[in-house]
Structure 1
Amino acid sequence: MSSKLFLGHRLRRLRRDRALSQTDMAATLGISPSYLNHLERNQRPVTAALLLKLAELYDVDVRSFAAGGGTRTGPDELAEIFSDALLADLGVPRYELTELAHNSPAVADAVARLYAALKESARSPSLTAGGDARALVTPENWVRDYIQQHRNHYPALEEAAETLGGALSDPLSMQEPLRRRLKDAWGISARVVSQGELGNVSQLFDADRRLFLISSQLRPENRTFALAYQLALAEFAPLLERMVAEAAPPDPGIGQLLHMSLANYAAGAIMMPYGRFLKACEAMRYSIDRLCGEFGANVEQIAHRLTTLSRPGARGVPFFMLRVDPAGNISKRYAGDQFPFSRFGGTCPRWNLHAAFQAAGQVVTQLIETPDGHRYFTVARTIDRPIKSDLSGGLLAVGLGCDIAHAHKLSCAEGYDLERAPVTPVGPACAICPRIDCGYRATPPAGRMLAVDRTRKTISPYPFVAG
């Protein structure tokens, strides 16, 4: 290893999650309890040999364990928080934020939750009228953070869905096997009805009549997904309930949203069983259109599934994914690895995700580079909304990206000279972006002294002093 790895908090969390004492874990690892204590207190680095032992004994993924272990709030997110005008004058150095994220991850998560609540209280002051601060923990942010903590991968759901999906696989269409399984195993009849019968919902399960109603306006791939979702609710009910209980959501509404999100995950895994999907991805060089044809899925379903391929020993390309509307509102954000953009803000305007709306139906590719020097190959394209309706709005856009080291595996990168192709510098939220000469900058950088000179105008509206 080229650098020392101090992973004390992750090692301590791993031990506590398995209800082991330091003496017990030290014995299994073949080290002394005092040495383990030094490791947990970051007084000794974790060696490569010890990482391999952890992988063997505790089914630890070495890469994610060494890279962050699924911690929700990292140094970049903390830097974004402490760049806020309320905190910027403190001048908290980067190394302190890194130490907080690595050594006290629960505290870092708490700081992030408080900051998110502060932002929400400014947006919706009425939420605090009753004096209950929990109202400021928005469901979508809580669930999004929980999913990202697990890198959008759930082994127990994958295993169950792979078994079921493999048994139902049909080269013609998954709809009929799914419908039969609902009827034969659970006594649930599925029926397509007019949107007028459903009002403002696209699918509805009538438990009393054991009837599952699907809107006629849902697109074919979304009908298949609806059937898989209802089947997941029935087949995996105990597993889903246990997973939600273990997550300990702060209120029943958030628990319901998490339950729905996990069932959606399971539905995608039923339609696209892990082993078969990964094999097809590799054979088809991650061609989204070919994968859509292979699995009877749409672009968004394939894109979401691509972010879940994190099974130890059988990993796919680690993608990140965003879904936005023309106004820039982010409605989905998933990552199989690190996500290179702002957690609390939007995307960098220099990333061409939004350009997809000007090239509807076309694939828009781009090489981008973040301020830390990491490069990513990205793909953007528009998608239709799930339901055909005058009230459902217009197009959405999906952006996918992966580290440039994996780009050679992608069909859409064929013909690219990845070493010489133009690279677009992008950044996180403007308030924390360190790029000086950016004409797209919308806000001055927090905690930086402006270098405005009234005798000249710069490309950036807010030039600042570097360093």
Structure 2
Amino acid sequence: MVENPIFAGPALRRLRKREGITQAAMAASLGISASYLNLIERNQRPLSARVLVQVIDQYDFDPRALKEDETIGGVDGLARRLADERFSDLGIDRDEVSEFLSTTPQAAAAFARLYDRGLPEQGGVPDALIASRREIERWRNHFADLDEAAEAIADEMRLSRADITSAMTERLREKHQLSVRILPLDVMPGAIRRLDLHARQLQLSEMLDRSSRNFQIALQIAQLEQRDAIDNLVAGAQLPDPSARQLFERHVTGYFAAALLMPYGRFLRACEQTGYDLTILMRRFGTSFEQTAHRLTTLQRVGQRGLPFFMARVDRAGQFSKRFSGASGATILESEASCPLWVIHEAFERRGELCVQPVMVEGADSGPAHWLTMARTVEAAGATGEARFVIVLGVEARLCGDCVAAKGVNLDPSAATRIGMGCARCHIVGCRQRSLPPRGVPLQIERLMRGLTPFEFRPLEERN
């Protein structure tokens, strides 16, 4: 049986039309029948390796065209866009999304481009942030070249010193003639990091803990040694807005820094050996909870994949300041509001404690619905006040059997907490925590009776 069959009908059809030849003529040149080529073009037969080689050889065909759907994040990326509340009444499921992408990839790409660049601000989120995030999703938050470069440098540094802080500090001194200096708060009252080229110093605030200091040093190495690679990624994104470009550049620079602290191969092995035990991973790599959680969303190396986690950072008002879906296919983050029944809100009252909750997401037709989620508070780096957030991680419940966080947790779907994507997009009937009715749904107001919630409406299945 052929693994990962290639269905490339639309790409082959466009190539044939570009060449201005008939199906019969192309079939003859490829040594196949016209009827077989017709089936390939309609995606009813896969493109065999032999025929693909013939196409490349005879028509100067670029095989990267077969991966055109990756420019919009594949099925997951398209599904996230179609999960927008403006399309909620259409009932688009994942099979339809997949069919749309496979049969008319150019039309799907056009829709994605219009959605990403032509729509107004969503839920108060600036366009630049949306555009940067979409580019990260296009890569599924995995930048293979940066990972490889970071591993090479990390291995180089390990040969000199076992302690990562000393190794990075020594690298800055020897390779870039920069020293690292920790300065008191009154000298750096409004900053956590500053590069003083006159004094040849990387200056860090004394308010940073060890993991944050390491990250800032790794960021400096990224900026000095990966400038070309980062610039190429930013240029390739073709983001029209300067702010979007700067946000994307900041992300990929931070990506390299995290990869330097948690080299891909070693980090993945540690994940698998410990059952993704976050406490052990943090101690072993000297990283914070947020840094470790972020790294878990990036483990998508071909032939060496980790579990597909999503990660978000949330404030007390339930607003997302970071959202990384990675390869998880999660639509749970595609909303301007979070469900009050989700454990992220309870986590604020359980400071420093890992709060675990299996959830079933209402209305997740375009992606997985059953998740194991983990949430914990974090403090903003270098903050002197109560700048506190919650980091939430999620992985599909069916995949997390070996995870330490799943031990003793009932992963039966019936035991999961049902949550929505904010009240305005949630159709769960009878929720005592509901603050708003779902948009576009007629309410049933009874004069003679008052229910448990002020907003009564018919269940979704009865309205279709």
> Common fold, TM-score beyond 0.5?
yes
Q: Aligned partners of 1:402, 1:26: CA distance in 2, in Å?
A: 45
2:372 to 348, 356, 377: 377
Q: Aligned partners of 2:27, 2:250: CA distance in 1, in Å?
A: 40
Q: Aligned partners of 1:296, 1:33: CA distance in 2, in Å?
A: 61
Q: When the two structures are aligned, how many residues end up with a matched partner?
A: 430
Could you report, residue by residue, the CA deviation over 1:108-167 in whole angstroms, capped at 9, with x for unpaired residues?
3244336752447xx5xxxxxxxxxxxx95322221121122111001111111111122
Q: Aligned partners of 2:411, 2:225: CA distance in 1, in Å?
A: 45
Match of 2:152 in 1: 163
Letter matched to residue 220 of structure 2: Q
Match of 1:400 in 2: 393
Q: Is the CA contact (8 Å cut-off) linking 2:6 and 2:47 kept in structure 1?
A: no
Q: Does 1:94 align with 2:83?
A: no
Q: CA RMSD in A?
A: 4.0
Question: Could you state the TM-score of these two structures normalised by the residue count of structure 2?
Answer: 0.80
Q: Does 1:368 align with 2:359?
A: yes
Relative to structure 1, the CA distance from residue 296 to residue 80 in structure 2 (aligned partners, 3 Å threshold; closer, same or farther) is same
Relative to structure 1, the CA distance from residue 48 to residue 375 in structure 2 (aligned partners, 3 Å threshold; closer, same or farther) is farther
Q: Is the CA contact (8 Å cut-off) linking 2:442 and 2:457 kept in structure 1?
A: yes
Could you report, residue by residue, the CA deviation over 1:306-332 in whole angstroms, capped at 9, with x for unpaired residues?
111011111111111111122222111
Relative to structure 1, the CA distance from residue 416 to residue 330 in structure 2 (aligned partners, 3 Å threshold; closer, same or farther) is same
Alignment of 1:108-257 (within 5 A): 108-113=111-116, 117-119=120-122, 138-169=127-158, 173-257=163-247
Match of 1:133 in 2: none
Relative to structure 1, the CA distance from residue 31 to residue 224 in structure 2 (aligned partners, 3 Å threshold; closer, same or farther) is farther
1:228 alignment partner, SS class = helix
Letter matched to residue 92 of structure 2: R
Q: Is the CA contact (8 Å cut-off) linking 2:370 and 2:413 kept in structure 1?
A: no
Relative to structure 1, the CA distance from residue 32 to residue 267 in structure 2 (aligned partners, 3 Å threshold; closer, same or farther) is farther
Q: Aligned partners of 2:183, 2:30: CA distance in 1, in Å?
A: 60
2:454 to 430, 441, 461: 461
Q: Does 1:44 align with 2:43?
A: yes
Relative to structure 1, the CA distance from residue 175 to residue 32 in structure 2 (aligned partners, 3 Å threshold; closer, same or farther) is farther
Q: Is the CA contact (8 Å cut-off) linking 2:181 and 2:204 kept in structure 1?
A: yes
Question: Could you state the TM-score of these two structures normalised by the residue count of structure 1?
Answer: 0.80
1:350 shift after superposition: 1.6
Q: Is the CA contact (8 Å cut-off) linking 2:81 and 2:112 kept in structure 1?
A: no
Q: Percent identity?
A: 30
Rg bigger for which structure? 2
Q: Is the CA contact (8 Å cut-off) linking 2:319 and 2:338 kept in structure 1?
A: no
Q: Is the CA contact (8 Å cut-off) linking 2:169 and 2:179 kept in structure 1?
A: yes
Q: Does 1:354 align with 2:353?
A: no
1:408 alignment partner, SS class = coil
Q: Aligned partners of 1:254, 1:267: CA distance in 2, in Å?
A: 20
1:74 to 39, 60, 78: 78
Alignment of 1:309-324 (within 5 A): 309-324=299-314
Q: Could you tell which deviates more after superposition, 184-193 or 103-112?
A: 103-112
Structure 1: tracts of 5 or more residues without a match:
124-135
Q: Aligned partners of 2:149, 2:162: CA distance in 1, in Å?
A: 23
Structure 2: tracts of 5 or more residues without a match:
57-61
Relative to structure 1, the CA distance from residue 309 to residue 328 in structure 2 (aligned partners, 3 Å threshold; closer, same or farther) is same
